[in-house]
Amino acid sequence: MKRLILALLIIPLLLTGCGGERAQQTKSKPKIAVVISTLNNPWFVVLGQAAVERCEALGYEATLFDSQNNPSKEADHFDNILASGYQAILMNPTDADGSAVNAKAASRAGVPVFCMDREINLPGACVTQILSDNYSGCISLGQYFVEVMGRKAKYVEILGLVGDNNTWARSRGFHSVVDCFEGLEMLAQQSADFDQNKAMEVMESMMQAHHDIDAVFCGNDAMAMGAYQAILGAGKAGKIKVFGFDGADDCVNAIREGKVEATGMQFPKTMAETAATLADRYIKGERNLPKKMPVAVELVHRKNVAQYGNFGKIQD
């Protein structure tokens, strides 16, 4: 009798428990993963955060993953994501070739991948790549560099991650203009991995090796700020002109204050929001999406800096 009473008490409890779980499952939102190369740079924080916010606004549960600029860390994230029922991945890759393997694994598992800002060298592994038009942006920057520096100057270049296509797109765009002028001489070119502290060290060593540097072109704004700190420390502020790329807030403010000459505004929010919107359309069944979607870059300099801030155009 006691057993019967106990069973009568337990069975409804079990049923309620299962039913509750099922109800919870039904109610839980579909999930999108946002995998960012590094959250150690404010520009990428904005990219990731904007993607998360847009996904949430579209009715998804979004989770942000930090790959810490490490392809194997990114691979770990992908393993977890593929085992956890995510419906799409918005990825800012760490490496054009290394990240392609992760994107391919996701694609094989039926999870669509959308690349933001950085591309992978395997277009079929992701649905769409939303990328800044770095090459054109750096052509504009190169033209402005010639305008500011004139036809005769000595400069150095600080590159980003050598495995990232953006590094070379920026460098080649810049050089496609500047190399047309024989009087503009590049004294040194070195990578600082898009990192502010590394750029400071690189700039310090470049200034020790070359005492006649007139300008530095940096592959992103974090490195431009690092280079500026080194120049300031060496008492050469104003003598060595700094050019960056990204449109990060601290760099835009530095342009306003006359510390930096120019940067290229990349619009991370536009890229993130577009990626989230395309992922939503894909999840809802749309398949006719563009493979690549460049986003135009705008030149920001002292004359037009009032129009820019908060990682975009102020009226935006």
Partner 1 sequence: MKQMKIVKWIALALLALLALRLSFYTENLSEKNRREAMSRYNPEELVVAMMRDSLSALEQRALPLAQWQDMLQKDPQTLASTHARRLGIGSPLFYMIRAELSEVCLVDDEYLRAFAEGVEIRIPITYIFGNTARDASGWFNIDDFRNTMDFNAVSAAMNDYIAEKMADFRLPEQASLRVLGAVAIPEDAVRLERLELIPFVLEP
DSSP SS3 for 253: helix
Do residues 100 and 121 lie in contact, with contact meaning Cβ atoms separated by under 8 Å?
Answer: yes
- CB-wise, 127 or 227, nearer to partner 1? 127
Applying CB under 8 A, which of residues 294, 302, 307, 309 lies at the interface with partner 1? 294
Site string for partner 1, 136-155 (x = CB under 8 A): x--x---x------------
Nearest to 49 by CA among 30, 61, 32, 62: 62
Of 29 and 291, which CB lies nearer to partner 1 in the complex structure? 291
Q: What distance lies between CA 165 and its chain's CA centroid?
A: 12
Assess 262 for contact with partner 1 (CB under 8 A). Answer: no
Q: Which residue has the tokens 């593929």?
A: 82
CA distance 292 to 269: 17
Q: Does 202 bind partner 1 (CB under 8 A)?
A: no
Q: Which stretch binds partner 1 (CB under 8 A): 18-26, 50-58, 161-169, 227-235?
A: 161-169
Q: Which of 295, 299, 300, 305 binds partner 1 (CB under 8 A)?
A: 295
* Contact residue for partner 1 among 277, 282, 293, 302 (CB under 8 A): 293
Looking at 16, 176, 205, 253, which residue binds partner 1 (CB under 8 A)?
176
Q: Is 135 in the site for partner 1 (CB under 8 A)?
A: yes
Joined together, the tokens standing for residue 208 give 């020790």
Indicate whether 131 belongs to the interface with partner 1 (CB under 8 A): yes
Select from 102-110, 189-197, 213-221, 292-300 the region that touches partner 1 (CB under 8 A).
Answer: 292-300
* Residue 142 Cβ vs partner 1, minimum distance, rounded to whole Å: 9
Q: How far is the CB of 296 from partner 1 (least distance, A)?
A: 4
- Residue 174 carries which side chain, given as an amino acid letter? F
Quote the least distance from Cβ 181 to partner 1, whole Å.
8
Q: Give the other-Cβ count within 10 Å of 158's Cβ.
A: 28
The verdict on 172 binding partner 1 (CB under 8 A) reads yes
Rounded-to-5 percentages of helix, strand, coil across the chain: 50, 20, 30
Structure token pair of residue 261? 């000459």
Which pairs with CB-CB distance under 8 Å and at least 24 residues apart come from 51-59?
A: 51/90, 51/116, 51/272, 51/273, 51/275, 51/276, 54/272, 54/273, 54/276, 54/277, 55/90, 55/276, 55/279, 55/280, 58/276, 58/277, 58/280, 59/29, 59/30
Three-state secondary structure string covering 270-304 = HHHHHHHHHHHHHHCCCCCCCCEEEECCEEEECCC
Integer Cα distance of 148 and 167 in angstroms: 23
Helix (H, G, I), strand (E, B) or coil at 130: strand
Residue 180 binds to partner 1 (criterion: CB under 8 A): yes
Nearer to partner 1, 132 or 196 (CB): 132
Interface with partner 1, residue 270, by CB under 8 A: yes
**Which of 84, 121, 205, 253 touches partner 1 by CB under 8 A?**
121
Name the segment binding partner 1 (CB under 8 A); options: 2-10, 246-254, 286-294, 301-309. Answer: 286-294
Contact flag: residue 274 with partner 1 (CB under 8 A): yes
Residues that bind partner 1 (CB under 8 A): 96, 119, 121, 123, 131, 133-136, 139, 143, 165, 168-169, 172-173, 176-177, 180-181, 267, 270, 274, 290-296, 298
